[in-house]
Chains A and B, each alone.
Chain A
């Protein structure tokens, strides 16, 4: 439970870490995750995963993890391209009967925000918020869907969030989590099942 205390990476960038930029990045990540939850179409899922990746990349860069963030972007780019190159290209945002998904997205966002800002202490609130929100929303998505592409996109989102969350650790975990996350993100949507028609 050392948290961020005593971690030079965070201590040095504490101000930046909780600046407006990281807050926006964290919000973007949540928005992306919410989009993945709310969308059934490939375009919607692509935008969602892109937002998640951009958000976590921004937070990583703000924390000085330039290479790791870069890997995330590359992996995400491959995933988005894979999504947009196969299958029917539609948005599928908030189809009929999405009320529960909307409630899930909002509720998870609020609870994560409360946890990150009020229940927990120390710097890195944006990262805490983003990590909790995206992990929870991706889990919800994976439990809710019966289709392959949303499930794989959810798995990709999980990978990105896990890589980002690795920065919360007391020790510098290096770029390995980002590399694996990038491979998982890209690989998930390059799987044959992800190329199948329909989402």
Chain B
């Protein structure tokens, strides 16, 4: 019954934290305890083992479990070292809700449920409020659901071979729309709280959703597997180019961060498109980087971005190096796997990706500087994020083993 508990504990934790919000300490304790219980359940899950307690067969794969754990770690990092003037109880409530949703998506037995759950999460996320009107907040995720649904329908139709290709288009486009990558970039308001902004999709919910969609899509349309992979790589390269350039050249600092997530997702899509073990390993490490490194740094840099503070201290430059995927951080290991996978698949692809990787530096320097001068707990948080990234970069085996690779 671990999958059920992995969903239930964080969900209840989210509700309790929200209810107890007027008493922050109690809310935090309740949320932390139930969240920890949920993570315990995730840890206890035997990958692939099905649980049928509620009449629905729930199972969590090793890779999904790894992503759930890293999402929880990221949330813990953010709650333990919160950004200036952040309401930790609210962060925890929505973080736990997100983890519950992610656990549900990870455990869902088929793509129908994954899409329906995505729609439910999209509605809840849109209902959070924020600076944009509800219709605008709902537009891209709902389009994603529709496209995924159409793709799913096409995948199940009998007839011409081209139907499978249409299915691939629907699933890829739906995934891009759900994540908010090019060409379906979510409308982004720099002043919007992170929990209600598209960052929640691209940096927190996105990884598990992408994993669920891509792994199931491969089973659904085996005849269009090559087209599916090619589209993933094509869309990935497009996002690498766009994300890198836009993140470097855009005027607004917050938007630069938003685009940098897209660039990272470009690499992830390329990695998922490379149908060898190294590609999957690269994808896992890159997703770890997005959730465990880029997301916390983004949250920690928002205040200094508002105050337009730019600093060149060692911590800023190390953060820039981490964001750029320079050695010895995890990004370099991921890039190494990506190059190796691409070499096995088709070496010119490795050349293109390799050239694309150089686009990370200028924006990363900019983003690193926008971190300002972290002090006290914040500095400790940044140091921990950097250390985790270095540890994964030098010794990625435990993470890969956790992901079943």
Q: Find out whether A and B make contact in their complex, taking CB atoms under 8 A apart as touching.
A: yes
Q: Are B56 and A176 within 8 A (Cβ)?
A: yes
Bound-state Cα–Cα, A159 to B112, Å: 10
Residues from chain B with a CB closer than 8 A to the CB of A115 are 157
The smallest C-beta distance from A72 to any residue of chain B, in angstroms, reads 12
Q: Are B150 and A132 within 8 A (Cβ)?
A: yes
Residues from chain A with a CB closer than 8 A to the CB of B126 are 193
Q: Are B143 and A143 within 8 A (Cβ)?
A: yes
Residues from chain A with a CB closer than 8 A to the CB of B150 are 132, 135-136, 139
Q: Are A151 and B138 within 8 A (Cβ)?
A: yes
Total count of chain B residues near the partner, CB < 8 A: 40
Q: Quick one: CB contact mask for B133-170 with A, threshold 8 Å, 1 for yes?
A: 11110110011011101101101111110011000000
Q: Quick one: CB contact mask for A1-37 with B, threshold 8 Å, 1 for yes?
A: 1111100000000000000000000000000000000
Binds B, one of A45-53, A82-90, A160-168: A160-168
Q: Is A145 an interface residue (CB 8 A)?
A: yes
Indicate which residue in B56, B112, B115, B143 contacts A169 across the interface (CB closer than 8 Å): B112
The smallest C-beta distance from B273 to any residue of chain A, in angstroms, reads 21
Q: Using known A-B contacts A158-B146, A187-B120, determine if residue A151 contacts B55 with beta carbons closer than 8 Å.
A: no
Bound-state Cα–Cα, A183 to B124, Å: 12
Indicate which residue in A5, A146, A184 contacts B136 across the interface (CB closer than 8 Å): A146
Residues from chain B with a CB closer than 8 A to the CB of A4 are 156, 158
Indicate which residue in A147, A158, A173 contacts B149 across the interface (CB closer than 8 Å): A158
Residues from chain A with a CB closer than 8 A to the CB of B159 are 119-121
Q: Is A122 an interface residue (CB 8 A)?
A: yes
Q: Is B29 an interface residue (CB 8 A)?
A: no
Q: Are B110 and A162 within 8 A (Cβ)?
A: no
The smallest C-beta distance from B120 to any residue of chain A, in angstroms, reads 5
Bound-state Cα–Cα, A173 to B111, Å: 10
Q: Is A38 an interface residue (CB 8 A)?
A: no
Indicate which residue in B122, B135, B223 contacts A146 across the interface (CB closer than 8 Å): B135
Residues from chain A with a CB closer than 8 A to the CB of B113 are 173, 176-177, 180
Chain B stretch 112-136: residues in CB contact (< 8 A) with chain A: 112-113, 115-117, 119-120, 122-123, 126-127, 133-136
Q: Are A155 and B123 within 8 A (Cβ)?
A: yes
Bound-state Cα–Cα, A1 to B134, Å: 37
Q: Are B110 and A173 within 8 A (Cβ)?
A: yes
Q: Using known A-B contacts A1-B221, A122-B158, A146-B136, determine if residue A177 contacts B116 with beta carbons closer than 8 Å.
A: yes
Indicate which residue in A143, A170, A191 contacts B156 across the interface (CB closer than 8 Å): A170
The majority secondary structure among interface residues of chain A is helix
Residues from chain A with a CB closer than 8 A to the CB of B110 are 166, 169, 171, 173
Bound-state Cα–Cα, A22 to B112, Å: 22
Q: Are A1 and B116 within 8 A (Cβ)?
A: no
The smallest C-beta distance from A15 to any residue of chain B, in angstroms, reads 18
Q: Are B135 and A151 within 8 A (Cβ)?
A: yes
Total count of chain A residues near the partner, CB < 8 A: 53
Indicate which residue in A150, A163, A181, A191 contacts B123 across the interface (CB closer than 8 Å): A191
Bound-state Cα–Cα, A138 to B143, Å: 9
Q: Are B119 and A155 within 8 A (Cβ)?
A: yes
Q: Are B142 and A168 within 8 A (Cβ)?
A: no
Residues from chain B with a CB closer than 8 A to the CB of A5 are 158
Bound-state Cα–Cα, A171 to B110, Å: 10
| B residues in contact (CB < 8 Å) with A | 55-56, 109-110, 112-113, 115-117, 119-120, 122-123, 126-127, 133-136, 138-139, 142-143, 145-147, 149-150, 152-153, 155-160, 163-164, 221, 223
A-B contact pairs, 28 of them (CB 8 A): A1-B156, A1-B157, A1-B163, A115-B157, A119-B163, A120-B163, A122-B157, A122-B158, A131-B149, A135-B146, A136-B150, A139-B146, A142-B135, A142-B139, A145-B135, A152-B138, A155-B142, A165-B156, A168-B153, A169-B156, A173-B112, A176-B55, A177-B112, A177-B116, A184-B123, A187-B120, A188-B123, A192-B127
| A residues in contact (CB < 8 Å) with B | 1-5, 115, 119-122, 128, 131-132, 135-136, 138-139, 142-143, 145-148, 150-152, 154-155, 158-159, 161-163, 165-166, 168-171, 173-177, 180-181, 183-184, 187-188, 191-193
